[in-house]
Amino acid sequence: MQSDIPAPTVRALRILSLAYFVQATGALSLVGALDAVSREWGLTDAGSAYLISVFGIVFALAAPLLQVFLGHLRRRRQLLLGLGVFSAAALLFAAAPDYPTLLLARVLMGLGAAFVGPVLGALGSSLVAREQQGPAIATVLLGLSFAGLVGMPAAAWVAHAFGVRLLFVLLGAAGLLCACLILRAVPDAGPGERIRLATVGRLLRNPQSLSGFLVAFFIAAGVYATYGFLAPIIRDVYLAGPETVSLALAVLGVAGVLGNLFVTRMARRYSAEAMLHAGIAVLALSLGLMRLAPPVLAMLFAMLAVFAFATDMLWPSQQRRIIERHPEQRGIALALTSSFVFCGIGAGTAVGAWVYPHAGRTGVLLSSLGLLALAVFCLRFSMRRRSAAGPCPGRLMPGCGSAS
């Protein structure tokens, strides 16, 4: 990729990837820090898990609405605004005296992230030619993979060793640092889009585009029904402590980076749909084996590696698919995709919070498999609708897109 894209653009993509790293670490750091949050504020595991859910729900509602009311701003400005809100909210979380303040901080973090997540992909793809968009998007999303490799294990370690309040101070500082780097080195080349609520409504009413968004929702829900309760599963089933949780997150991160790099190479050879089918199949296999394998940590780490590899095949492929289908509406289409992803994260975590106390590991694994089955159904439905519609002449309308 570096031989095809100018060095300044590669540098800009890497900075956007760093911003994704900070946003994803802030959004998901509670997965490995549930015990630390529960101890610091005297909460149950379910109460702490709902802090993950509320972030996802706020993100889901805010991402399209922010594009409607503020999407006309240039994308770099949107990104800087989002990072500012996100960072301030992280600092509020660190200073929170009680649970209501924690909820408010997570609401504000979700609001800031609703600007950051969708704009990163749209801005990154606008910096390169169309044939380079697959690798460029994968480069930006590499930050998400490194959040698993470095960010989440480090967050879990900091939360347990030094306290969860320090963790969120560091997240706030990192967000402000990213804003400075973007202001300095990322071109202000991505114009905003004037989005009307009617456009959002058309995309959501169109069965083809809605089913495409639902693919993202059910994949995210399927992943996080299990992933959100990884720390309690390790504690209760494998009888291990916080150090093992950090190690498990590191295993997930390494495998996730490999999955992302695999997608970067395969994006030029295979369609987004093919990569989505393959990723869901491998992910379902890992969940099934996780249930059948004996409670041995070495076996768990092996299955988690497969789980993370598959997961990081899915996120870039889903974003690529949305951009290919809505090239002239990529801003709002990616915002809606991110909304459905984070709503899926919230829904999956809520499912896990409800199922785990009653059915334990088996319950959350089966819930994940059921949600992934719904993702496959929506993917197949979307593909059938597209085939029936045929090629889209002229200006691309909601539900139309280029061939994958």
- In angstroms, what CA-CA distances link 48 with 29, 40, 209, 228? 12, 11, 34, 11
Q: 132 vs 166, which has greater pLDDT?
A: 166
For residue 190, the model assigns a pLDDT of 65
Contact (Cβ atoms closer than 8 angstroms) between residue 105 and residue 93: yes
Q: State the Cα–Cα distance between residues 119 and 106, nearest whole angstrom.
A: 20
The HSE-up count of residue 162 (CA atoms within 13 Å, CB side) is 11
- Domains in the chain, CATH or no CATH each: 7-188+197-386 (1.20.1250.20)
For residue 349, the model assigns a pLDDT of 83
Percent pLDDT > 90 in the chain is 26
Q: What is the DSSP letter of 71?
A: T
Given a cut of 70, is residue 396 above it in pLDDT?
A: no
Provide the mean pLDDT of the chain: 83
Q: 337 vs 18, which has greater pLDDT?
A: 18
Given a cut of 90, is residue 102 above it in pLDDT?
A: yes
For residue 369, the model assigns a pLDDT of 95
Q: State the Cα–Cα distance between residues 311 and 28, nearest whole angstrom.
A: 15
* Per-residue pLDDT band at 368 (split at 50, 70, 90): very high
Q: Average pLDDT in the 382-387 region?
A: 76
Q: Which two tokens stand for residue 150?
A: 């470095």
Question: pLDDT digits over 291-330, tens only?
Answer: 888 888 888 889 988 988 888 788 778 878 887 777 767 6
Given a cut of 80, is residue 179 above it in pLDDT?
A: yes
pTM: 0.69
- Under DSSP, is residue 83 helix (H, G, I), strand (E, B) or coil? helix
For residue 165, the model assigns a pLDDT of 96
* Per-residue pLDDT band at 403 (split at 50, 70, 90): very low
